[in-house]
Each structure stands twice: as C-alpha cells, then as structure tokens.
Structure 1
Amino acid sequence: MTGRGDGAHGELVLLERFDGYAVVTLNRPEKANAMNAAAQTELAAALDAVREDCRAVVLTGAGHRSFCAGVDLSERRGLSKNQVQERLFSWGADPWFEIQERILRHPAVFVAAVNGAALGGGLTLVNNCEIAVASDAAVFGMPEIGLGTFPALSGASTLHRILPKHAAYLVLTADRVDAEKALRWGLVTEVVRPDDVLSRAKEIAAIVGKLDPVVVDFSKRAVREVPTMDWSRSIDYGLRTGMVVRANSDAAVAGVTRFLDRAERGGGNTSAPSSTTAEPHT
C-alpha cells in the first residue's frame, strides 16, 4: 500500500499517511535522531495532524543506527543565548514531557518501530508506545546517571513498564541492554530482523487502522489506566468502558451480528473472530 507524504511538518519530522494509520519518522540521523526544539515542535504538529483520521501511528527513526537519542543536550534548558537564567514555569516547562502527554492522550495506538539505539528520551518514547517492534540490532538504555543526573522521564516511565529490579539496573548503571534482553524484560513486544522492523510495525498498525476509532480510543485509555487500579476498580472500569463504547459506536452490534452469522454458517463455531478478519470502519 502506498503512503501519502505530508510535507507540512518540515524536514526534521516526516509524516506519511496510509489507510487508517500514519508513519512518523524522526529525521535527524546525523544527530542520532536527537530531538532539538525545532524537531519537537514538528513532532507535536505531526501528532496533532493525525488525530482525526488515524487509529494507529508508527513512530520510527531515520537510518539504521538510532531510533532516538532523546533530547538534544546542546539545547539543554537553563541558560539563554545571552547566558541569562530563563524563567521556569510549573506547567509546560519541559517540552519533551508535553510530547509524552500528547502521545498518552492521543486517540491513536502508537507502535514503536525501534530501528536502532533507544537511549534516554528515546527509551521514554518506546515506553510511551502501546506496542514496540525492535530490530535485533537495537539497544536500550538511559545514560543520565553517568551524566550526573536522574533519568527523569525514561527512569520513571521504565519503572512503570518493567519489573523494579530490571528498571533499577538500567537507571543505576547507565548500561545498555540488547533487543533480546529488552524482550525478556518486557520493554518491547517482539524482535525482528533490521530489514523487517518497519514493515512489521506497519502490519500491526494496519490491523488497528481497520478498527472502529471509538473502540480504539477508549480501549487504549483502558490499557493505560487499568494497571494503576486495584482488582475491583479495574473490573468496574472495564464494564463502564464497554458501556461508553457501545453507547457511542455501532461497532459492537455490527461485530456481534457478523460473529453470530459466521457461527451459524460454520455449524455453531463460537470462537472469537480473528483480528485479521476485522472489516474496515467507514
């Protein structure tokens, strides 16, 4: 399937649209796809541009060496060009945090296509995607403690994603782990050959892109919020989410009808339909 390029977001972040999903590429390969202020602005614009028509977004980096090396430290906040201390505000002071909030609250499912090193803020991006496909040549880590600071976003987000002792190792040693260990630890969903990373991520995004947008939106929110709840609250949240979805979309009625029709034609087979049989939402 051929994508449609969107040049409105500049050269630092590329946007390509497909049916039901988009591919967003961080395009600073000469800087290991580190995100300077201009790149972060373009990324925010690209995410906003696909809110209405994309149920999934693939995030990847240009080249084969790096997925994302995090925030560009050459623009580290603190001093302006005139070496004057900048005003620090309680909200909106960290643009990279604001990007993460945009992804968290975005109605689309995010699929990371980790084509290379994901370090610091790049690991934060991986953590903030619901699904992550990694190259078997990718590495993961957070170098901040070696630079004399705590990995504020990557450390906190990793502690939410994997077991505490695994997260502690990454935070406290600044060591890097390979893709296979990242898979065992739960940082990524699956590992494939380098040449297959983007195609596999797009394959997953295409599956999600065929689903009803209301179902995807509320299901993503549940996936993110339920793990923070106790057993009873999580079950209650699941029930309420189902009620909200059914009240705002006819997808459930149509889906159950198709399922029962197939069961009758198949002699009473009541197994749930595969995602590969999902019909495009129009």
Structure 2
Amino acid sequence: MKAVEQEYATLRVVQDGRVLTAFVEAPPHNYMTAAMQRDFIALVDAVEHDRSIGAVVVTGGVPGRYITHYDIGDLLAASEGSRTRSRRATAAVVRSVALLHRRGGATARRLLRRGPLAEVHRLVAFNLALERVLRSPAVWIAAVDGPCGGGGLEMSVFFDLRFCSESARFVLPELSIGLSTTFGGRRLAQLVGPSRALELMLSARPLDAAEAQRWGLVDEVVVSPVAGRGSVVDGVSSVGVSAVGSSPDRTPAGGARTGVAAPDANGTALNGTVVDGTALGGTAPSGTAPSAATPGGTTPPRPAAPGAVLARAQHRAAVFARRPRDVVAAQKQLFHDPDATTATESLLRELVAQGVGVPTERVRSALRRWLELQGPDGDSTFLTDPRPWQDGTAVDLVRDR
C-alpha cells in the first residue's frame, strides 16, 4: 500500500508528484501523543517501501503549531501507571523488546503490540523508526511554523533538513521536569555540539529562529513575502522572500550586501539562502517604508505568511525528490553508518534513562505541577508562563536527593 493510502490518526498526508507532505493534526495544541508516534512509525515504514516518494515534508496541520511537545497529561498517566524498576531491570526489558522487534518477525511484533509490554514496544519501535530516517531513501524535511519542543524537536533532529519561519521557537523542557531526552539527545548534540545541547536543556529557554540557524539546528529561515513582490514558491526568482542570511564571514568574496551571500545562476545564494536583492536589515527598496524598530533599535521579525515555510519546503523537496532513491539512501548511509552501532546503542540508553525516570515520584510531582500551571484552555505552560520552569522554582526536583 502506498504511503498516501495509509490511514493515520494524527496525520493528513498529501502527495504531489514525488513529494509527500504530512500535516500533523492533533488539535488544539498539536501535542505529541502515543497515537502520533504510531503514525510516524507507519509513515516511515510506508515511505521506505514506496518508490513513488522522493521527499517527505512534515509540518503542522494546526495553524501556528508544529509539534509543541509531548502531551504532559498523557505522560503523567503513563508515570502513574508504571512501576518503578532499577536501571538494570529497565535496561533488560528495553533490550529484550528491541531484540524481539528487530529479529522476531511480524508475529513477535504483533504479540508485543498487544501484550503487557506494549508501551515499551511502541517507544522502542518509534526510536528505531527515527534511526531508519537517517538511512531512508527519501529526503525528510521539517517545515516548522510555530513552537517546536520536547518530542517534536527530538524527532525533527533526525530529519535531513529543517526549515522554519522567523516566528518559530525551539525548546527542550525535559530537564526542568526531571527527565532526560527519550530519543533525540545524541542526534541534537551531533548537530549543535554537546555544550550547546546541554545548555539548551539546562536553561529550558527557547531558541529563536535566527539563533537556531546560527547553532546549526535550522538550515533555512523563511521570511514572509513582501506584498506584491513575488512568492516563496518561486525559488528560482523568489523576489521579496529570503532565508535569513548566514553570518558575514560566510559571504563569498564579491558577494551581496553584508550578511547575505551572492546568488548563483538559479537565484539561490551560495550558502543555501535565497536572496531578493535586499540585505535583511539593509536599505529598503525605493518606495518601501522602513519597518518600525523596537526600542532597542532592532527591526522586529516579520512573521512568515501562512504557508510560506511549507511552500518553500515543498519547493525544495520537489527538487530533491528528483534524485534517485537508491543513491540518496547510499549517501545517507555513508554519512551515518560509521555511527550505526553507537547510534542504536545510544537510542536504547536514552529509552532506558526515560524508563527509569518516568515512574518516579519526583517526576510525577513535576508533571502534576505542570498541569496545575497550564492555562485553562490546556495550552502549554512553556508558551504561557515558562519562567518558573526555566528558573527551577516551579517544583523542587533536588530536595532530599
């Protein structure tokens, strides 16, 4: 069965040529859930065997949302429904389930899904599916237009490319509630470096789009088209739309204005950005009023128009999808296979650490407090009032420890 013909509980998939777009739809807040993880497992499986797909774009299907983070209510329910095990016992369970999943065949996987270890099996299968994305014959792109946190960020670091709007924000709140990452920690450290990855988690602060690009977490920041001056989907002649330029020291000699690389023959800057002839923060085109500055003298970000990030990601995906799947898979394996054994081991270790931490009373107290502070509409406290969690004052995680 083709990927577009599969049934998903939280994904709406549309195929245009060789590009499959998966809209994440878990309204109203687009929290990651067990159902969403099962859907992504199925999607990875389907794409792996569907030769009609050359690229996959994952984006939010709820306006202004990508994947906010894992559903804290669901996490608390899982915590209260689990019994505490030692690290050794947890490791034995996780490794046994992983071995059966990989080598036991369809019958073993079906029994695991229906048995008492179904939740462990789901997490193992999700972790291993993300590892397979690194070797997928399709190019995977995240189009982030909204908050991307927790499990949503951990999943997206396994994709090949990440595009975002200027209004996108990236955050990992796990340590603030006494938990480690479940699957994306090692991959995040590979992208941004161990020190930055740890600082991101220790501070629990959100990264804005520009900082995320400087760190190497984001590949392209899409700026909103200026009214009447072109479209984000043009790509070749995208007048009025650009990606935020890289630092000036990366601008080729003889290039464009400060901070923006000179375009090549296709209108695509040599450092991967798309330029419209005007450097961001530079002189406005004739007849265009300068945007208002903030009290600090900087120009506020211009939010991407609805669909701009998705349109840009789909346009690039259509180009990438023209590459042969077998060669794409081979090249990704060349990039990632030296780490294959350690990557698998790292994913299992992350899952073991999570399995040890989730059932503890410390984590349960933090999760209950989170839900107490959550807005009446159920929106994430990391979007409404993150300061107590960033400061470590929302709940005492270290008392008597």
**Normalising to structure 2: TM-score of the pair?**
0.51
| Higher normalized contact order (CA 8 Å, seq sep 6+, divided by chain length) | 2
Contact 1:155 1:171 in 2 (8 A): no
Contact 1:29 1:66 in 2 (8 A): no
- Specify the alignment match of 1:10 in structure 2: 8
Q: Residue type matched to 1:65 in 2?
A: G
- Specify the alignment match of 1:89 in structure 2: 94
SS at match of 2:141: strand
Two-structure CA RMSD over aligned residues (Å): 2.6
The CA distance in 2 between the partners of 1:70 and 1:222, in whole Å, is 31
List 4+ stretches of structure 1 deviating above 4 A: 83-88
- Specify the alignment match of 1:56 in structure 2: 55
- Specify the alignment match of 1:210 in structure 2: 322
Shift of residue 126 of structure 1?
2.2
The CA distance in 2 between the partners of 1:224 and 1:5, in whole Å, is 25
The CA distance in 2 between the partners of 1:215 and 1:122, in whole Å, is 28
1:137 aligns with 2:167: yes
- Specify the alignment match of 1:71 in structure 2: 70
Could you say if the C-alpha distance between residues 227 and 74 of structure 1 is closer, same or farther in structure 2, counting changes exceeding 3 Å?
same
The CA distance in 2 between the partners of 1:73 and 1:157, in whole Å, is 23
1:221 aligns with 2:218: no
Compare 56-65 and 86-95 and name the one that shifted more: 86-95
- Specify the alignment match of 1:127 in structure 2: 157
The CA distance in 1 between the partners of 2:53 and 2:139, in whole Å, is 9
Per residue, is there more strand in 1 or in 2? 1
The CA distance in 2 between the partners of 1:154 and 1:16, in whole Å, is 27
Per residue, is there more helix in 1 or in 2? 1
- Alignment map for 1:1-282 (pairs within 5 Å): 6=4, 8-31=6-29, 33-51=30-48, 52=50, 53-76=52-75, 77-80=78-81, 88-90=93-95, 91-92=97-98, 93=120, 94-95=123-124, 96-193=126-223, 194-195=304-305, 196-225=308-337
Shift of residue 213 of structure 1?
1.5
**How many residue pairs align between the two structures?**
222
CA offsets, 1:112-155, max 9 Å, x none?
A: 10111110111112211111111110001100111112224333
The CA distance in 1 between the partners of 2:58 and 2:197, in whole Å, is 23
Q: Residue type matched to 1:205 in 2?
A: A
State percent identity of aligned pairs.
Answer: 28
The CA distance in 1 between the partners of 2:330 and 2:4, in whole Å, is 27
Higher Cα Rg, which structure:
2
The CA distance in 2 between the partners of 1:172 and 1:110, in whole Å, is 29
Could you say if the C-alpha distance between residues 161 and 8 of structure 1 is closer, same or farther in structure 2, counting changes exceeding 3 Å?
same
Could you say if the C-alpha distance between residues 5 and 127 of structure 1 is closer, same or farther in structure 2, counting changes exceeding 3 Å?
closer
Unaligned runs of 5+ in 1: 229-282
**Normalising to structure 1: TM-score of the pair?**
0.70
